[in-house]
Amino acid sequence: MSVQDDKRENQLRKLFHLEKRDESRIGTDAVLDLDGVEIPFELKSTTTDSVTTARDFGKEHIRKWKNKHWLIGFYDKKQELERCLYGSPETMAPWIKSIEEYIKPDIQILEGLLRPGVITLPLLYKILGQQEVYDIKDAIKIQKRQFSNEQYKKMMDVFEDRVVRRNKVIKQPIGYSRQRMLEILELRCRYLVDRGSTLNNPHINAKYFTGEEGPGTDLNSASWKTVDLDNPAEHLKELVKEALQQKQIAFQIIEETKLVEEITEEFLQQEAGEEDEED
Ligand SMILES: [Ca+2]
């Protein structure tokens, strides 16, 4: 992220009373405390009318963004905040879905390459040579920085007895069996597959915010809402509450419709049964 982006995100957090959480929870830029419930947010800022997303946009982003609420700051050329849009997870769902559909064939092609029978001993021998036991250098050759030191150690399944103080013997992990190396090889292949099926920075374009594409106009509960910058933190809370209520109502309607269908079905079956008896 550029310094400017970082600065603007900090400003948005401050303005809307959002908190930054643990950095390791990648993808959660901020959380809103809504009466004790933590609402995860994705923050974006832009100086144009569209928004850039991420460099290697793939399955991981789709997974992480599916339940995120969105706050988008539109800045002018002097870096002044002009307006802010709030979108619920439902608001962004059509966009995320469209990207998902777009990369799906790539994922299917690459997944096909991982079918059983591809990652086998001959492939392992081709890469690392034929050995009974492989050491950590071999494993690093395959997994590179995708594993931490801890993980490299944890994956070891070949042990050696080592005598320590007072003739106590401990099992010291020293390396990896062929089977374990195949597992590591498969993890690497999965990583390459995921990396191969990403998009380079798909934009959320201006039409998605105006309702010409995506979730529609103001009448639609899932549309983008302009946050009142005179009362930003309070208004954002209201908008989030509203969105959550709408979702609840939509869910209830679906459930009620299902129930009515079930009762109708039951009724019709009973009637049919009675008619049969009359015959
Ligand atoms: Ca962000």
Residues 1-37 pLDDT 10s: 678 888 999 999 999 999 987 665 567 899 999 999 9
75, pLDDT greater than 70: yes
The CA distance from 178 to 18, in Å, is 49
Specify the pairing of strand 37-46 against strand 69-75. parallel
> How far, in Å, is the centroid of ligand 1 from the Cα of 11?
12
Rounded to the nearest whole angstrom, what is the distance from the C-alpha of residue 29 to the centroid of ligand 1? Answer: 6
**pLDDT higher than threshold 90 for residue 152:** yes
Distance CA 147, CA 264 (A): 56
The residue behind tokens 């320590």 is 164
CA 69 / ligand 1 centre spacing (Å): 11
Mean pLDDT score, 38-49: 94
Looking at every residue in the chain, the average pLDDT score rounds to 89
Q: Give distance in angstroms: CA of 149 to centre of ligand 1.
A: 29
Contacts of residues 254-258 at CB distance under 8 Å and 24 or more positions apart, as own/partner, are none
Report the alpha-carbon distance of residue 1 to residue 155 in Å, rounded.
33
Average pLDDT over residues 132-155: 95
CA of 53 to the centre of ligand 1 (A): 8
Burial (Cβ within 10 Å: 0-12, 13-18, ≥19) of residue 106 = middle
Could you tell me the distance, in angstroms and rounded to a whole number, from the CA of residue 148 to the centre of ligand 1? 26
pLDDT of residue 252: 83
Exposed (0-12), middle (13-18) or buried (19+): which is 205, by Cβ within 10 Å? middle
Res 159 pLDDT > 60: yes
141 pLDDT tier (thresholds 50, 70, 90):
very high
43 alpha carbon to ligand 1 midpoint, in Å?
4
Q: Which burial class, exposed, middle or buried, applies to 91 when counting CB atoms under 10 A from its CB (0-12, 13-18, 19+)?
A: buried
DSSP of 121-176: HHHHHHHH---SEE-HHHHHHHHGGGS-HHHHHHT--EEEEEEEGGGEEEEEEEEE
- How big is the chain, counted in residues? 279
Query: What percentage of the chain has pLDDT greater than the value 70?
Result: 94
Ligand 1 centre distance from Cα of residue 54 (Å): 9
At residue 216 the predicted structure's pLDDT band, cuts being 50, 70 and 90, is low
User: Ligand 1: distance of its center to the CA of 10 in Å?
Assistant: 10
Q: How far is CA 22 from CA 74, 149, 181, in A?
A: 26, 22, 33
CA of 203 to the centre of ligand 1 (A): 13
Report the alpha-carbon distance of residue 205 to residue 144 in Å, rounded: 37
Distance CA 191, CA 195 (A): 6
Compute, in angstroms, the gap from residue 44 CA to the centroid of ligand 1: 5
Q: Which residues surround ligand 1, an ion (CB under 5 A)?
A: 29, 43
Ligand 1 midpoint to CA 81 (Å) = 16
